[in-house]
Amino acid sequence: MTDPTIVILAGLACMLAAAMIGCAIMMLRQSRAQQTERHMADLTRLQSEMVGRLQAMGETLSGRQAELARVVNERLDSVSHRLGQSLETTTQQTVERLQTLHERLAVIDNAQKNLHDLSAHVTSLRDVLANKPARGIFGQGRMEAIVQDGMPKGSFAFQHTLTNGKRPDCVVFLPDQRPLVVDAKFPLEAVNALRAATSEEARKDAAQRVRQDVLKHVADIAERYLIPGETQDLALMFVPSESVYAELHDGFDDVIQKAYRARVVIVSPSLLMLAIQVIQQILKDARMREAADLIRTEVVRMVDDLARLRERVLKLQQHFGQANEDVRLILISADKIEKRATRINELEFEGGEAEDGSGVIIQAPMRRRLEAGE
């Protein structure tokens, strides 16, 4: 064959090879395009799944937050309602007690005024109480009036029968349920004799009589009405005359001391009123302590509820922390996927430049050969 024929055949062969290479390149590009489409579809599916999971997690967290808010609001409403009821009840009781106190003070003031008016018309206690039964009735009646005016109903009793069968004039029940005995005695005859004494000898005899009468009353009260474990450790001997009481305290200190040692306290009307007020305050304090125990019990229950609420909030905080950790890990995975997708895109772009360059490298010799053949 001649040289021109060989050149032509060689050119045809080069053209055929170039066509085959172009077809191969096109097929490779199509395959890579399909793979890229599949990768993009997978990425789209993963993104959709992640969006769905994030939405589900967001709905779950919203639901838990709403439930927590509802539980906290219910607890706060319950605690506020209980405190409001307790404060309202305490306020109402305080107002009622103050009203009762004012009423009783008004009664006491009225009684004192009546006694003052009565004392203005009495010329002599000796003339009014000339006999012993009258003195006993007067002393017991005055004691009953003072006790009734100062003590609430049910906290005292007149002619209460003790276990030994004795019946004192009055008993006042204290918070420990042991009664305090109050018995009225009126040693007026001996005191009047002492006042009427004109000589030193008569005065000594009258003073000895006063000592004997008062100590006999003290011994009777201590023996009859002081029962260990049943009554209080001391009793009150009520003397219904302030002047007689003052006479005893001024001139017979030894009698007062012996009475103290016998656990019998001699009191006048004013001192009995003071003792009744002290006892009333003791009873009020006992009732307030009972109310304080109830309030303390409710506060303890409220503290327990708050402790349980704190535990539940801590558990919920742990759930939130786990959810936040899951979200963080999901975001890390999403970042990795995004980086991998970016790398895939960069690899595809670099491969396209290499393919174009190789085409140029392949086509350049072919053109040079055609030019040389021409």
Question: Do 255 and 134 share a structural domain?
Answer: yes
d(C-alpha 249, C-alpha 273), whole Å: 18
Domain that holds residue 15: 3-82+329-373
d(C-alpha 194, C-alpha 188), whole Å: 10
Structure tokens at 175: 């918070």
- φ, ψ of residue 171 in degrees (nearest 5): -130, 140
Question: Do 216 and 128 share a structural domain?
Answer: yes
d(C-alpha 370, C-alpha 374), whole Å: 6
d(C-alpha 193, C-alpha 90), whole Å: 56
Domain limit, last residue, from 244, 267, 290: 267
- Position 34 in a domain: yes
Model pTM score? 0.44
Q: Convert the pLDDT of each residue in 1-40 to its tens digit.
A: 555 677 677 777 777 777 778 777 777 777 777 777 777 8
Q: Convert the pLDDT of each residue in 229-277 to its tens digit.
A: 888 888 888 888 787 888 888 878 888 888 888 888 888 888 888 888 8
The dihedral built from the CA positions of residue 126, 130, 135 and 141, taken in this order, carries a sign that is negative
Alpha helices, DSSP H only, in the chain? Answer: 3-121, 125-128, 132-150, 188-196, 200-225, 242-251, 253-261, 269-373
- Position 111 in a domain: no
Question: Do 76 and 19 share a structural domain?
Answer: yes
Question: Do 258 and 127 share a structural domain?
Answer: yes
- Position 87 in a domain: no
- Position 29 in a domain: yes
Domain limit, last residue, from 267, 285, 307: 267
Q: Convert the pLDDT of each residue in 196-239 to its tens digit.
A: 777 778 888 888 888 888 888 888 888 888 888 888 888 888 88
- Position 110 in a domain: no
Q: What is the CATH number of the domain that holds 246?
A: 3.40.1350
Reported as type and span, the H/E element at residue 158 is strand 156-158
Q: Is 237 left (phi over 0), alpha (psi -120 to 50) or beta?
A: beta
- Position 193 in a domain: yes
Question: Do 261 and 154 share a structural domain?
Answer: yes
Question: Do 135 and 68 share a structural domain?
Answer: no
Domain limit, last residue, from 267, 290, 317: 267
The residues that bridge with 63 in the sheet, in sequence order, are none
Question: Do 137 and 72 share a structural domain?
Answer: no
pLDDT score at 351? 45
pLDDT score at 347? 67
**C-alpha distance from residue 239 to each of 100, 191, 247 (Å):** 28, 12, 11
Question: Do 73 and 12 share a structural domain?
Answer: yes
| Beta pairing class for 179-184 and 156-158 | unpaired
Question: Do 156 and 240 share a structural domain?
Answer: yes
Q: Total domain count for the chain?
A: 2
Q: Convert the pLDDT of each residue in 35-55 to its tens digit.
A: 777 778 778 888 788 888 888
- Position 21 in a domain: yes
Is pLDDT larger for residue 76 or for residue 12? 76
Alpha helices, DSSP H only, in 230-268? Answer: 242-251, 253-261
- φ, ψ of residue 175 in degrees (nearest 5): -60, -30
Question: Do 237 and 138 share a structural domain?
Answer: yes
pLDDT score at 364? 41
Let me know if 129 is exposed, middle or buried by CB neighbors in 10 A (0-12, 13-18, 19+): buried
- Position 64 in a domain: yes
